């Protein structure tokens, strides 16, 4: 007997934050959506230890999550708004201080654990009657079925095959996207030969609901506020140095980390396990194919020094949403997808190159460059238009 084929308007491959958000955003706009998720996340519970991966959710992303209906749930679960940001160059007095007071908003963003975001979106997804979840299932391949649909082949955890058709296939399945590879889309990759060391730390002083970031020749260190006197750190180091940091005793690690932060928050003490992840940049040569569109890390990955990765993925989603809403073309039409690519590829590519240039600039040890950087920090701190331009990009909204 022939295997039944399920028909959908949209099939989303990837059950991370961007994929879950895409299902929630598009659910009011189309009749049937399928979400294919290979590895469902473990549930978050109140009182659990802080997750090691956190995101600085900017105001534009908060607005999108509020429109979905999950931001209020995230606020009730666990998150920390921050109203100031201090960025400084190590071994100098040069710093830039950003404040929400300059913007007319109460915060510059909110630190949220990734598993809290996933939990809130997953719970909301369960209330949507037109979204079907295939999990744990993985996409094996897809092919063009007709001029207006694709055939997607899945395999579930028991090894059973499933087949779906869709007018639009969305790849939100991360840097190793199966959708992207099956579409034959090549990717330009840049190995930074760096790793991000992450953990939760206890701080001697209050973080004052401020995000702190130190640029040094060793690599940028971010201290992101959590609960009182707790921060999540992201320390971008050469991979060999990152391995050394993971191998240190807790006391030695605490000493190295506190010194790297120049004791802005006093002594720091590790309060979780330490892990690292490789850092690399990537840009898909194309963001779209025939009835295929890539979102988030499937299309682009950038250096984490500005904390913009997830926010850019949600900007991708917002752009796609607006293009679908404003067009009288059919879902998945080439015109809509090409307009999406033109809008997002240029911006994301520029952001990737800018962050790579900043990282490279601050790792240079020449004294004259250190002095030039100090001058640049001081000028930026005293020039409101420059500060507003930085905040406009970081917040993701007009100011």
Domain residue spans of the chain: 5-43+118-188+281-358, 54-111+192-279+362-395
CA angle 25, 26, 27 (to 5 degrees): 95
Helix or strand or coil: residue 233? Answer: strand
SS (H, E, C) 129-175: CCEEEECCEEEEEEEEEECCEEEEEEEECCCCEEEEEEEEEEECCCC
- pLDDT confidence tier of residue 102, bands split at 50, 70 and 90: confident
Structure pTM?
0.94
Calpha distance 388→399 (Å, rounded): 8
Torsion from C-alpha of 61, 62, 65, 71, nearest 10 degrees: 150
> What pLDDT, in 10s, does the model give residues 185-215?
999 999 999 999 999 999 999 999 999 999 9
CATH number of 54-111+192-279+362-395: 3.30.9.10
Orientation angle between helical segments 17-26 and 309-326, nearest 10 degrees: 20
Q: Is the peptide bond before 136 cis (omega within 30 degrees of 0)?
A: yes
What would the mean pLDDT of 153-175 be, rounded to a whole number?
A: 94
Evaluate whether the domain defined by 5-43+118-188+281-358 bears CATH number 3.50.50.60: yes
Residue 261 and residue 216 in contact, taking contact as beta carbons nearer than 8 Å = no
pLDDT tens digit string along 324-359? 999 888 888 999 999 999 999 999 999 999 888 888
Sheet strands (E) in the chain: 5-13, 33-36, 54-57, 80-82, 84-89, 95-99, 109-113, 131-134, 137-146, 149-156, 161-171, 187-203, 210-215, 221-225, 230-238, 268-270, 275-284, 288-289, 292-294, 300-301
263: left (phi over 0), alpha (psi -120 to 50) or beta: left
Q: What is the pLDDT of residue 128?
A: 96
């Amino acid at each position: 007997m022939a295997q039944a084929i399920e028909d959908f308007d949209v099939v989303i491959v990837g059950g991370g934050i961007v994929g879950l958000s895409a299902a929630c955003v598009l659910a009011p706009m189309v009749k049937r959506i399928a979400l294919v998720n290979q590895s469902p996340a473990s549930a978050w519970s109140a009182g659990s230890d802080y997750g090691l991966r956190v995101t600085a959710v900017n105001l534009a992303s908060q607005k999108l999550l509020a429109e979905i209906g999950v931001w209020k749930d995230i606020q009730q679960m666990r998150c920390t708004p921050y109203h100031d940001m201090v960025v400084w160059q190590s071994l100098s007095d040069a710093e830039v201080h950003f404040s929400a007071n300059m913007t007319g908003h109460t915060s510059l963003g909110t630190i949220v654990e990734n598993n809290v975001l996933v939990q809130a979106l997953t719970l909301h997804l369960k209330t949507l009657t037109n979204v079907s979840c295939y999990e744990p299932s993985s996409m094996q391949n897809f092919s063009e079925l007709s001029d207006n649909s694709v055939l997607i082949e899945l395999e579930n955890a028991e090894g059973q095959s499933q087949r779906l058709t869709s007018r639009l296939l969305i790849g939100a399945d991360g840097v190793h996207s199966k959708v992207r590879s099956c579409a034959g889309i090549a990717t330009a990759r840049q190995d930074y030969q760096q790793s991000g060391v992450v953990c939760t730390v206890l701080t001697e002083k209050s973080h004052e609901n401020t995000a702190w970031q130190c640029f040094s020749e060793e690599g940028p260190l971010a201290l992101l506020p959590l609960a009182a006197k707790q921060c999540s750190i992201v320390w971008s180091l050469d991979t060999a140095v990152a391995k050394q940091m993971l191998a240190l005793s807790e006391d030695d690690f605490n000493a190295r980390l506190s010194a790297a932060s120049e004791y802005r928050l006093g002594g720091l003490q590790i309060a979780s396990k330490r892990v690292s992840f490789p850092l690399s940049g990537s840009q898909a040569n194309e963001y779209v194919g025939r009835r295929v569109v890539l979102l988030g890390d499937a299309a682009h990955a950038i250096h984490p020094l500005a904390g913009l990765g997830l926010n850019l993925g949600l900007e991708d989603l917002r752009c796609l949403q607006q293009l679908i809403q404003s067009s009288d073309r059919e879902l998945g039409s080439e015109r809509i997808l090409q307009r999406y690519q033109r809008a997002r590829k240029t911006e994301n590519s520029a952001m990737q190159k800018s962050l790579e240039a900043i990282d490279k600039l601050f790792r240079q040890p020449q004294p004259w460059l250190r002095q030039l950087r100090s001058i640049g920090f001081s000028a930026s701190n005293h020039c409101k238009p420059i500060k507003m331009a930085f905040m406009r990009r970081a917040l993701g909204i007009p100011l």
